[in-house]
Amino acid sequence: MPAVNIKDILTEFVKSIPQYLVGPERIIYILDNIEKLAPENRMILRTYVNKMLTSMIEREASDIEIGGHGSGGFVWMRIFGRKERVKELQVLSNDEASIIIINLLNANQRKLLSDIKNLDFSYTYFYTRRNMDVRFRADAYFDLDTLTLNMRAINSEIRSIDSYGFHPNVRKTFSHSYIKFGLTLITGITGSGKSTTLDAIIDSYNKLDSVHIVIIASPIEYVHSSNFSIIKHREVGRDVLTFKDGVIQSLRQDPDVIVIGEMRDPDTILAALEVTDTGHKVFSTLHTSSAVESIDRIVAEIHPGEQERVRNRLADVLVAIVSQKLVPSLDGKRVLAKEVLVVTPSVKAAIKNNNTSEIYMMINQGAPQGMITMEQDLKRLYLEKKISLENAIAYANNKTRIQQILSAI
């Protein structure tokens, strides 16, 4: 497709925007008038986005950034952890990027973006070179009154749960046949592979276990095809209004396992604890870097008057926490480092007594139960010559501890 077609379409639309409109008013104009574009021109713009996504896939990039003041007109990609301008792709003005982004949205999504200045959604296109649909998690948001878009590629193949190297005791805690209820958390910063780990756990059920799984996420990333398990996907903003609503409604949907994409607010946390209390197995994620931080974060999110009650409920239902990071590897890619907490009676007592500072040493000494600290796992990766000494230290949660255990080598 000649690039001039794209530029002509964009230039013509930009000319229609009244010059007296500035900042967010220009975005509102595009939101309100995008459907005035001829259908064939809208398809050309969407096909151009697909071309950019194809370039992203072929560069093995995890993310793409389009538009926004900070982008300087360039399309950016994250390639093996490094954010880079892609100078081969067309430079776009703020208005042009906004048109391209808004053209991807339906009427309801455009209204949500206008109302709340942020929109999480999913996007799928057909990648002809591999003859397959590829899905992306997308987030449209404002950057100094300009519109920008991040899109993250969703793996088309699920990583096997066996490849994570979890101890057999930890694998048991994941299993519905071994533990019928309880809360398991997968935590880490953005881009640490939490969703990939959750999908691996769901897939392990789907291969072996005849259960009903309800996934509530914003947005839905990997779409599972029911096999041994029946799997329902509920996207927040499309199939259900909020995480809290999805969790509460799931109680009337006969689930065995409930997957909550993120416990992002007190209402969702309380709803997750409630459904776990009712005898369901729940998996969810948090943006935290360690097991202890995850416990403290959940309690801190709740009103002080309710914290003791929530601490006791959390201690009763928590089964395990996996905290993970993707660390630059010596081959120029990234490798998974993880901290694993299995909730033993001692851990349960420490949570109830608000002595979470004791839990780190319980993990440190809990290898027979399948536990491992982030520092112990970083040491393992260093000894296996997968990561550098510098990155072993840089990605440690406890700098003093990692230096101690590395100096003992």
Read off the CATH number of the domain in which 336 is found: 3.40.50.300
Query: What is the pLDDT averaged over residues 268-278?
Result: 93
130 plus 166 within the same structural domain: no
Instruction: Answer yes or no: are the C-beta atoms of 65 and 148 closer than 8 Å.
Output: yes
Torsion of CA 67, 71, 77, 83, to 10 degrees: -150
Residues 252 and 139 grouped into a single domain: no
Share of the chain above pLDDT 70, in %: 99
- Split at pLDDT 50, 70, 90, the class of 255 is very high
Given a cut of 50, whether residue 36 has pLDDT beyond it is: yes
Burial of 396 (0-12, 13-18, 19+ CB in 10 A): buried
Average pLDDT value for residue range 99-125: 92
Out of 95, 124, 153, pick the residue that ends a domain: 153
C-alpha span between 252 and 241 (Å, rounded) = 16
Q: Could you list the residue range(s) of the whole structural domain that residue 193 is in?
A: 161-407
Q: Mean of the per-residue pLDDT values for the chain?
A: 93
CA distance 160 to 139: 27
Which of 116-125, 231-240, 368-377 shows the highest mean pLDDT? 368-377
Nearest to 153 by CA among 203, 234, 221: 221
Residues 290 and 194 in one domain: yes
Compute how many other C-beta atoms are within 10 angstroms of the C-beta atom of residue 225.
6
Predicted TM-score (pTM) of this structure:
0.77
pLDDT at 4 exceeding the cut of 90: no
DSSP H helices, 190-290, are 194-208, 243-250, 266-277
Same domain, yes or no, for 180 and 318? yes
Query: What's the whole-number mean pLDDT along residues 120-134?
Result: 87
What would the mean pLDDT of 383-400 be, rounded to a whole number? 96
Are residue 271 and residue 149 in the same domain, yes or no? no
- The reply to whether 168 and 137 lie within a common domain is no
Instruction: Decide if pLDDT at 1 tops 70.
Output: no
End-of-domain residue from the set 116, 133, 153: 153
Q: What is the mean pLDDT of residues 337-343?
A: 98
Alpha helix ranges (H) inside 209-284: 243-250, 266-277
Supply the pLDDT for residue 2.
45
CB 164 within 8 A of CB 266: no
Clarify whether residues 236 and 347 are in a common domain.
yes
Could you tell me which residue, 95 or 82, shows the higher pLDDT?
95
Q: What is the mean pLDDT of residues 224-240?
A: 91
Q: What share of the chain is helix, strand, coil (3-state, %, to 5)?
A: 45, 25, 30
| Mean pLDDT of all residues in 329-347 | 95
Same domain, yes or no: 268 and 337: yes
pLDDT at 157: 78
Residue 3 confidence class, pLDDT cut points 50, 70, 90: very low
Q: Can you give the CATH number for the domain in which 23 is found?
A: 3.30.450.90
Number of domains in the chain: 2
State whether 105 and 192 are in the same domain: no
Region 214-233 average pLDDT: 92
Same-domain status, 144 and 184: no
Q: Which of 119, 136, 153 is the last residue of a domain?
A: 153
Q: Closest by alpha carbon to 183, among 96, 298, 48?
A: 298
Q: CB of 56 within 8 A of CB of 133?
A: no
Mean pLDDT of 303-329: 96
Is 90 exceeded by the pLDDT of residue 236? no
The torsion of the CA quartet 270, 322, 192, 388, rounded to 10 degrees, works out to: 150
- In this predicted structure, the answer to whether residue 229 has a pLDDT above a threshold of 70 is yes
> Do 278 and 398 belong to one domain?
yes
Q: What is the pLDDT of residue 355?
A: 96
Residues 147 and 180 in one domain: no
